[in-house]
Structure 1
Amino acid sequence: MSSADYAMIPTPIGPFTALVDHEGAVLAAGWTDDAGELRELVHPRLRPDELRRRESLGAVSRVVEKYHAGEVLAIDDITVRQVSGPFLTHAWEVLRKVTPGNPVTYTAFADLSGRPEAVRAAANACARNAAALFVPCHRVLRTDGSLGGFRWGLAVKRWLLDHEAARAN
């Protein structure tokens, strides 16, 4: 039986919960207080059978607090564990390299991922990302500059983009 630890961290935009495996790698994260909802986002090969609530996840909890307090690069060193096919796995790695304060379009994201014609696949990588914040899919916009979608709501996405833009300048 596999298990994962989780903790909820209060943030200016609502509760943020992260699930980590036995090595401390983030399996799923988002602006919710429902760890069960996050568990369902984890790929079946990695999905834990049991969730254990913790007061803190150590470095992961501290980084979430630092990010929301303005240290937008703090998330970069946190290990994330997600699995899928080669394109999605690569696309998630590419997302982690998009600079805070400089969002890209889905078209540019597809190009950065090495498949410029695969705009829908790039959008799918964002939609299937279980580790929000640590794999910053919020940094991808529609071609016309509008927000597009975000699992945790467009108000959260707007706050994150504004927060990062304010720190980038």
Structure 2
Amino acid sequence: MIAAQLVPTPVGPLALLAREGVLVAAGFTADPTEMFVRLTPALQAEGLEVVDDLGLAAEATRAYFAGDLDALDAVPVSQPGSATRKRLHAALREVKAGTTVSYAELAERAGMPKTAARAAGSACAQNLIAPFVPCHRVLPSSGGYGGYYYGVPVKEWLIAHENGGIANSM
């Protein structure tokens, strides 16, 4: 069974979905089924149950939004993808709060040639576990914020929060 919990945040509810204590999806939505339908068919076959407390993932979420910017790093995550995508997602988790990288830099950190920036962009676009796999920390080298699955205002807010530009409101 996939367990889901909604955690309120300053930028809207964050749906957390976990299987046996490992986060398999997270996203800024009030409807956990929006994240559930993005899971693999095998995980969807397990069903979805909304619970009151997912434990570590929920605690880490509250701590992160209260100012402990490293809290999300302790939560185990698992998402599908090719070996390349998994390397890019692992490299994303190494980008520390308060810093940003370009898509080319992310590819380089994943041990891939700089020409793999497009693959880095694709890995960010397909990321199912935001902000635990912090694709919001990747910015285009041409400037600006680029896109974000949950909207650029959420990405801007997260980056400002991590840079100390927002008073804690949790």
Q: Contact (CA 8 Å) 1:16, 1:29: kept in 2 or not? A: yes
Deviation of 1:37 after TM superposition, in Å, equals 0.8
The aligned runs of 1:91-106 (5 Å cut-off) are: 91-106=88-103
Q: How does 1:51-90 map to 2 (within 5 A)?
A: 51-90=48-87
Instruction: Give, as a single letter, the amino acid of the residue that structure 2 aligns with 1:77.
Output: A
Question: For the residues of structure 1 that align with 2:122 and 2:64, how far apart are their CA atoms?
Answer: 25
Give the aligned partner of residue 126 of structure 1.
124
Residue in structure 1 matching 2:111, options 101, 105, 114: 114
| Separation of aligned partners in 2, 1:121 and 1:99 | 21
1:14 aligns with one of 12, 31, 35: 12
Which residue in the other structure is 1:144 paired with?
142
When the two chains are superposed, the root-mean-square deviation of aligned CA atoms in Å is: 1.3
Compute the TM-score of the two structures, normalised by the length of structure 1.
0.93
Matching residue of 2:168: none
* In structure 1, C-alpha distance between the alignment counterparts of 2:135 and 2:38, rounded to whole Å: 15
Residue 2 of structure 2 contacts residue 43 of structure 2 at CA under 8 Å; is this kept in 1?
no
Q: Quote the Cα distance in structure 2 between the aligned partners of 1:82 and 1:130.
A: 7
Contact 1:20–1:28 at 8 Å: present in 2 too?
A: yes
Gaps of 5+ in 2: 166-170
Q: Give the structure-2-normalised TM-score.
A: 0.92
* Matches of 2:110 and 2:92, distance apart in 1: 9
- Mapped to 2, the partners of 1:48 and 1:58 lie a distance apart of 23
SS of structure 1 residue aligned to 2:130: coil
Is the 1:43–1:82 Cα contact (8 Å) retained in structure 2?
no
Deviation at 1:47, TM superposition (A): 3.5
Q: Which runs of 4+ in 1 moved over 4 A?
A: none
Residue 34 to residue 74, structure 1, CA distance change in 2 (3 Å): same
Residue-pair matches, total: 164
Paired residues of 2:145 and 2:152 also in contact (CA < 8 A): yes
Unaligned residue ranges in structure 1 (runs of 5+): none
